[in-house]
Amino acid sequence: MCGVFGAYSNTDCVAEEVYLGLLALQHRGQESAGVAWIDAARRVNVEKGMGLVHEALDQKSLSRTKVTSAIGHVRYSTAGGSLLQNAQPICANYAQGPVAIAHNGNLTNLTELRSSLESRGAIFQSTSDTEAILHLVAHQPAKRPLDALLYALERARGAFSLVVLLEDGLVAARDPWGFRPLALGRRDDNYYISSESCAFSLIGATLVRDVEPGEVLLINENGLTSYRLGIEADRRWLCSFEFVYFARPDSVIEGRSVYRARQEMGRRLAREGSSEECSSGGDPDAADFVAYLPDSGTTAAIGYAEESGIPFEAAVVRNRYVGRTFIQPTQRVRELGVRVKLSPSQELFADSSAILVDDSLVRGTTAGLVVAMVRECRARELHLRISSPPVKYPCYYGIDTPSRGDLTAAGHSVAQIAASIGADSLRYLSKDGLIGAIGLPGDRLCTACFDGCYLDDPAEAVPSGCGVCSCGGVF
């Protein structure tokens, strides 16, 4: 998962606006950040570095950069390591002119593409899958850059939401299956492309619409021109985890408010009640209050409290100066980060029965440490509620869960997980409940991390006995 942002204007300088857009998308990646633009000499320039946006980039310098089109990227590595050479945008000045690419998603046919390109002389400078797209463009020197880009994207498989800078203008592109969100915004005659609509409000722009799956949008002095990739998708595969965790709650994706979707997840979780898999212990219906794991569990906890009638308390305090722990690059940093980031209120939890709501339980790191900290506050009962289904399968489309061994729900029952993290009971939202809360048809959502049904059915990823998934096609 990464964040991309692009800006185009006929009159205004936009490099600093791209910086601000990246600040609004910081939750999507904290390892590196970069901004690219094309100068008056027809050369592509890039400023990028490791760390958060304000650490990696010089806002003052960008504010003095007089360009009317620029793109930016914040990175959380899912393909390629956390290295400066993998920081984006990836740029080149090739035979047909300058090009810069910022990419959110993972290419599932990277091994095939890279092998083919290297056999034709391509020399890769990074381990990022995005560089394969750049090489595919450069290997079509007889085509104009936009046509070469269309050619490249029609040979890519998997998830890609891109902003690309060419001499022809700013380009936005989304894979035909629509795995990752991409939105078009506008302020007066200025156009913006963003991974999420939440970035538009910071620069005074408004959401126009989503970039459609399979659409390539060119923005230049002639306005907007829409192209279609020559790949037809049987159905859409918008990542349901965007609504669960990744996206900011004030974003709108495919016409659905992320905030309202998460609130409804909490309500449905409260309505669904106990399941056969739920561990037993205490009486959650008689809990003293509902609390949350900040920040992504907050909205679901509000919905749970509203539906159950149990009072809501902000009983776990977050240190605002510590970033997301799920997207930290190592397990050790994730574990240390939880204790630094979260602090339960001893006054509220002492001798109380509490329901603790979180958005998801992936590795179990955060939940286990928070439950332990709450136990230190002498809580009488602690019931953990998860506003999404168990994450049992790895994601190949842009989430950092590369193997089932990383996923606590892959090899343990709900009762075993509850016991291992020290909760009196544990309950997940059902897959049907999640789909209903998002409010989009099930055949427009990817739920592979919950049910193992993949678009391309990689043999190593299909659960035993699943066979060919009936909910989607193959490449």
For helices 414-421 and 365-376, angle between their N-to-C axes, nearest 10 degrees? 50
Q: Counting beta carbons within 10 angstroms of the beta carbon of residue 209, is it exposed (0 to 12), middle (13 to 18) or buried (19 or more)?
A: exposed
Strands 44-50 and 69-75, by their bridges, are: unpaired
Q: Any catalytic annotation for residue 2?
A: yes
Q: Which two tokens stand for residue 72?
A: 């930016």
For the CA atoms of 395, 397, 399, 404, the dihedral, rounded to the nearest 10 degrees, stands at: 20
Neighbouring-strand partners of residue 312:
290
Phi, psi (degrees; rounded to nearest 5) at 463: -65, 150
- Report whether 298 contacts 342 (CB < 8 A): no
Whether the upstream peptide bond of residue 284 has omega within 30° of 0, thus cis, is: no
Amino acid at 157: R
> Nearest Cα to 240, choosing from 267, 213, 258?
258
> What is the rounded end-to-end Cα distance, in angstroms, of the chain?
22
- Report whether 53 contacts 2 (CB < 8 A): no
Could you tell me the strand order of the sheet in which 44-50 lies?
44-50, 32-38, 69-75, 3-8, 190-194, 183-187, 206-210
Catalytic residue among 2, 13, 91, 446, which? 2
Phi-psi region of 121 (alpha: psi -120 to 50; beta: other; left: phi over 0): left
Helix boundaries (H) for 75-205 = 110-119, 130-138, 145-153, 198-202
Q: Tokens 């977050």 map to which residue?
A: 318
Supply the residues annotated as catalytic: 2
